[in-house]
Structure 1
């Protein structure tokens, strides 16, 4: 990650935390006259009928949410069964409602489900865009209707809006919505957005989308309205406007779940006649509409996974693999909320009769210790939750222990059996799904991301503010810290918060001061070079010589007859080409690197794989994408004296008549001319304003260049062009790596070099000569081809200004090669794009070898051949 990316993430996290702090400040002022005892009384006054109504409206809202995706899938022409759209919608919205950042949280859930159902990445993006547009259109419409129907002024604190002004603004918004809807319904052409096309809904689909959005938002707002005591139906338009503004502000702020922001906005817009009842209703609404669906989703999905319920299997269809992927995400989120619940509970006074009963059964010291320990266990659970998200086995074990401890301490601090039940149920789910947490990385190996830091900070702020709210009537004094009594609730809260702050600061200090992990050596130990040299001697592909560049790591098979080379960039483990050596050991090596990358929370990508490795890659569950084609010449059938070689022959003769000559320099003699070829290389790089690349090709390094024979072009007594040779000892294949020339080279020099090199390789008995890869070559961009294939074909046709794809293909084509496909084998959907980003960074980074030449450079057949000069 670059410095600017880090700064942006830190800045975004800072903005979210600042907005959260402002929201809690506003909420504190709005509830200044509200007392904790009154809020508790209002909560107990909520009748079962009101609670049942809120639950019914919540269920109806989430049912309507499922049709956002269901309709969008039909609009884009990729209809799926309702149960698939329902699972995607439910998991997506439960995550985004509670965690915020809907594109990252809910969007990732949609990707997992829809890709498993056969959609590609662009189709999923279209569904997200259409569903988001439906939601926002519904919000604007609801707000406009509420404003147009309103008849009371709106006091926002800093300004007041008269009823007439509110109605005019509402009518204007409604007119805009209607006009935009008509334009969309009449538009026949797809909408182009950032290079992607989105089919717009026709009139029937548009009406269905509006009906879905209005039904969802009406039910969601009604779930809160029925909880407000004494709510007058005549005030519903004003309430609906307050609710809609709260939703808009919460979404724009990106505060997870809109915590504090939503509540402050609703209370600011509504009249200040019964702040206590509204505040109590908002608390219950957050539990019913936000937390309960997430808990239900965790329970249903976990039950479906671990019990193999036939009934649930009929509901969810063939979504078992998707459920398995979502379990760690949902259990991680549920564990975080359980920790926040324990932390918040420690900040609030216990139920009076319970603490009295507990005082008769347990000593005061044990009650005090349980209170602090429960809050600290909650804080630790929030810190552990990211490890569950990353599927760490250690996080699963620690989380189960902490949940059991949290249940015990909840009973010990105030007989809070509700919290204990939640902790025990979640611990049971983690126990049943423990096999999904199979990565072995240490918990401290990966730092907390900005999103988790924001969420933990928000939960801690909420708990701290809740305690201040509950005990605002207690005057502060230093003596409170040392007061121990059964009814000393405020001192108990202060000590619990102090323990949590110390734990958080200690964790932060441990993270910042922990030593950086020692880098893994890029090359094997000296004693392992003998094995690698022996395997290289059996290689039948010249790309195996990339093992000598010094910028790769290695895995060697148990039998010592094969190895693969790889490197780690970010979270991507990139394997360079096929394994080298005995085919019988390829499967062992690829599964070994697959297991290593998985346990280190990484993604695996096999870069430039050949057809020979595809069966293994498919069995490993990797996505196969054609990357390009390799140009290969059959030297036995190749001849310079054919009509097809007319242009090559002409260029070769032009350089020969100018005085160019061709030589092969053995590897042992390369150090003698090292300064001369380095000057040619530096001039070649300078004229192209470029720099060396690595990993998938060699680079000019004296130790590396000394390993190979060199083909050079001499002109006027000095070297004007060179190419280092990759030659297999069994004479199966020959190739070149670096090809560079100076400005003094005569016209046609590179054709002269290649023509003579091909003739020399044929004379030496090599069977094939490879001219290397052309990325994106040979990919058909047909109408029904996958989106990645159409994009690749488009780049190949029109991307000459960025990379000479077509020019490179045309140059190699004039030698008459056979084109063989090369592939990428990597993760599914968005993970493949992330892996390609990491590969581009790996190849484009200035290479720095971490070793000198191997103990002894592998011999090649040509090394024993004396320097050869071809007459012009």
Structure 2
């Protein structure tokens, strides 16, 4: 049980949070319309917009100081320009996308590697920046509990004020312990890991800086809200910290849905949902979306500027921009799915009812929006793994989503993003090169059943959506609606779940069954001119079983030896299957002694390629910020 929770606990918790977020959105959006949200956004004053924009610039400037202090801690100070570049790109991409290939750590490793930092120095910078935010969050949360303890949900009305204020003691205690230990010790051991402490002045600077960062980021949102009686800035900071923390725990890019629903709940006593959502959308535009596009352009430009150095040092020039595109599109598709779910929770505007002369068609579009949005959230998972079937289905459902919103009679700015994202996705077909189990295996009953189930359930839900009992409803609302007939509730719930499960199964890779590393498998690799180490734990083949490589289990790593040998067309699937096998086993993948031909694929699965000692034409592909030092020690 403990092993199960260790491997899947975070995922289960994230799914539960996301399901709760969908329920909250459904409840809060029921009495709203797109026009009301638009009016709430229009009501934000120009002064507030400019002030929030200034706070956004200040927030990212403070984050740049994180990297500056981190480089000092690592013993190799970076210039302010480099600190700003690494910090801005790392945080912008990590906040929005959340995928390993473009996480803040991986992005920082690419920057600092090109600037001549060693793996140990980069690890120190990354560790320092990660810890700094936590210190600020705990320090500021303690302050909120002392000043405005009633902000704690559920407990505020059930415990005396002094007990709530006492909750600040452990938070401040952790921060104080870190500062004190930094004063008297250079290193400490935590869970068998030795941590080098930064010293008293640096620890104090970390705490103060992170506290300012969290406060300024919360101020962006607070400024965009209309004045509300009883909503002080300190109280809002408490609500913001809870919402942001839940978004992080859910492991959803940008805390999508989870952060938003927590904010809606926290602010519901002070103002209407339309005002909160209007400010929320502008906040996401300022702090997430605009920085994402700027950072993506800067990162791609950096990779191009490093053409010669990158080829000579650690990766191919196309890694940066191309490795970013698929995760970015997966993030956009997930956002589109969430947007459809939100729109599905709103009553239909009815603008096209008179044109079509059919209330049923327009009202059922609300039901369809929630179904399509749920399916797009599943398909984003397939896009992140470069699946061609995920690309095709996502394009189709995005176009259907745009048509659905248009049929509801919404304004152009509500339906236009869906065909726009679909068009952008169409231009990136080569980025989604991986076959799913639907194409990789014979059309056996195991593959045919989920395909038939998904098709049948999709058609069934489309037909059910026209029934009077579910018009103007979301599919999950029908399941829990007491006034709907029991047979209809059962049909909608079962078919919707089967549709999503069927889609998920279609997006799964073919079964991963490594071969034993024996004489037969060794001879097979040798016939393909592959690497045959003296000892290994198995051989992992591609989906067509015409390419593969030997590997050994070295927890927390599985280490593959060399590039995939055999049929190059099947080598891509061998790399991805190795990555999937590692994910199922709860370990990280790494590749030893690989050439430049496959570097793009290694980047796609979230690895960074670093030259082998004394052999600059050969590489080690791994999560460099975590594992490079360990692998180099074995060289």
Task: Using structure 2 for the length normalisation, give the TM-score.
Answer: 0.66
Q: Distance in 2 between matches of 1:310 and 1:158?
A: 49
1:574 alignment counterpart: 549
2:344 counterpart (343, 346, 359): 346
For the 8 Å contact 1:371–1:413, the answer to whether it is kept is yes
- 1:329-368 to 2 correspondences below 5 Å: 329-350=327-348, 352=349, 355-356=350-351, 358-364=352-358, 367=362
**What secondary structure is seen at the aligned counterpart in 2 of 1:237?**
helix
> Which is higher, the Rg of structure 1 or of structure 2?
1
2:134 alignment counterpart: 136
2:270 alignment counterpart: 274
Q: Distance in 1 between matches of 2:235 and 2:592?
A: 63
1:240 alignment counterpart: 237
- 1:527-676 to 2 correspondences below 5 Å: 548-549=519-520, 553-554=524-525, 567-568=539-540, 573-575=548-550, 596-602=570-576, 617-620=594-597
2:75 alignment counterpart: 77
Q: Distance in 2 between matches of 1:517 and 1:168?
A: 53
**What secondary structure is seen at the aligned counterpart in 1 of 2:416?**
helix
Deviation at 1:239, TM superposition (A): 2.8
Q: Distance in 1 between matches of 2:26 and 2:363?
A: 28
Are residue 489 (structure 1) and residue 472 (structure 2) matched?
Answer: yes
Deviation at 1:788, TM superposition (A): 10
Which whole-Å deviations, capped at 9, do the CAs of 1:114-137 have from their partners, x for residues lacking one? 556555655444333322221121
Q: Distance in 1 between matches of 2:186 and 2:476?
A: 62
Q: Distance in 1 between matches of 2:508 and 2:433?
A: 25
**What secondary structure is seen at the aligned counterpart in 1 of 2:225?**
coil
1:508 counterpart (501, 512, 519): 501
Deviation at 1:506, TM superposition (A): 2.9
1:209 alignment counterpart: 206
1:344–1:199 distance in 2 versus 1, CA, 3 Å: same
Q: Distance in 2 between matches of 1:618 and 1:256?
A: 32
Deviation at 1:330, TM superposition (A): 1.9
For the 8 Å contact 2:71–2:125, the answer to whether it is kept is yes
Q: Distance in 2 between matches of 1:26 and 1:511?
A: 24
Q: Distance in 2 between matches of 1:36 and 1:178?
A: 46
**What secondary structure is seen at the aligned counterpart in 2 of 1:827?**
strand
Q: Distance in 1 between matches of 2:156 and 2:514?
A: 65
**What secondary structure is seen at the aligned counterpart in 2 of 1:489?**
coil
Q: Distance in 2 between matches of 1:243 and 1:18?
A: 20
Q: Distance in 1 between matches of 2:476 and 2:192?
A: 55
- 1:173-252 to 2 correspondences below 5 Å: 177=175, 180-184=178-182, 186-187=183-184, 189-193=186-190, 197-231=194-228, 235-248=232-245, 250-251=247-248
1:283 counterpart (267, 277, 281): 277
Q: Distance in 1 between matches of 2:508 and 2:383?
A: 23
1:841 alignment counterpart: none
Q: Distance in 1 between matches of 2:45 and 2:371?
A: 34
1:313–1:334 distance in 2 versus 1, CA, 3 Å: farther
Which whole-Å deviations, capped at 9, do the CAs of 1:306-347 have from their partners, x for residues lacking one? xx8799969xx9786323322222221121111221232123
Q: Distance in 1 between matches of 2:596 and 2:509?
A: 36
For the 8 Å contact 1:98–1:290, the answer to whether it is kept is no
Are residue 381 (structure 1) and residue 367 (structure 2) matched?
Answer: no
Which whole-Å deviations, capped at 9, do the CAs of 1:477-505 have from their partners, x for residues lacking one? x9993269xxx634899689987973541
Q: Distance in 1 between matches of 2:327 and 2:129?
A: 22
- 1:285-434 to 2 correspondences below 5 Å: 285-290=279-284, 293-296=287-290, 299-300=293-294, 321-350=319-348, 352=349, 355-356=350-351, 358-364=352-358, 367=362, 374-434=369-429
Which whole-Å deviations, capped at 9, do the CAs of 1:664-690 have from their partners, x for residues lacking one? xxxxxxxxxxxxxxxxxxxxxxxxxxx
More helix by share: 2
1:14 counterpart (6, 9, 12): 12
For the 8 Å contact 2:96–2:254, the answer to whether it is kept is yes
For the 8 Å contact 1:147–1:170, the answer to whether it is kept is yes
Q: Distance in 2 between matches of 1:297 and 1:591?
A: 41
Q: Distance in 2 between matches of 1:22 and 1:261?
A: 8
Q: Distance in 1 between matches of 2:220 and 2:239?
A: 14
For the 8 Å contact 1:75–1:199, the answer to whether it is kept is no
Q: Which has the higher contact order (CA 8 A, sep 6+)?
A: 2
1:827 alignment counterpart: 621
Deviation at 1:381, TM superposition (A): 2.7
**What secondary structure is seen at the aligned counterpart in 1 of 2:62?**
helix
For the 8 Å contact 2:366–2:474, the answer to whether it is kept is no
**What secondary structure is seen at the aligned counterpart in 1 of 2:226?**
coil
1:201–1:493 distance in 2 versus 1, CA, 3 Å: closer
**What secondary structure is seen at the aligned counterpart in 2 of 1:336?**
helix
**What secondary structure is seen at the aligned counterpart in 2 of 1:574?**
strand
Which whole-Å deviations, capped at 9, do the CAs of 1:197-239 have from their partners, x for residues lacking one? 5443345544543343133211111122223322469932333
1:512–1:596 distance in 2 versus 1, CA, 3 Å: closer
Deviation at 1:568, TM superposition (A): 0.5
For the 8 Å contact 2:370–2:475, the answer to whether it is kept is no
2:313 alignment counterpart: none
Are residue 436 (structure 1) and residue 431 (structure 2) matched?
Answer: yes
Which whole-Å deviations, capped at 9, do the CAs of 1:376-395 have from their partners, x for residues lacking one? 44333323222221223443
1:250–1:593 distance in 2 versus 1, CA, 3 Å: same
Q: Distance in 1 between matches of 2:80 and 2:568?
A: 35
**What secondary structure is seen at the aligned counterpart in 2 of 1:567?**
strand
Q: Distance in 2 between matches of 1:299 and 1:155?
A: 36
Question: Structure 2 stretches of 5 or more lacking a match?
Answer: 311-316, 442-463, 480-488, 533-537, 553-562, 580-590, 601-609
Q: Distance in 1 between matches of 2:435 and 2:380?
A: 16
Question: Structure 1 stretches of 5 or more lacking a match?
Answer: 447-477, 524-545, 578-588, 606-613, 624-785, 790-820, 838-872
Q: Distance in 2 between matches of 1:622 and 1:442?
A: 24
For the 8 Å contact 1:113–1:322, the answer to whether it is kept is no
Q: Distance in 2 between matches of 1:240 and 1:515?
A: 41
Deviation at 1:67, TM superposition (A): 3.0
**What secondary structure is seen at the aligned counterpart in 2 of 1:230?**
coil
Which whole-Å deviations, capped at 9, do the CAs of 1:559-590 have from their partners, x for residues lacking one? xxx6777931799942599xxxxxxxxxxx97
Deviation at 1:598, TM superposition (A): 1.9
For the 8 Å contact 2:122–2:625, the answer to whether it is kept is no
Deviation at 1:602, TM superposition (A): 2.7
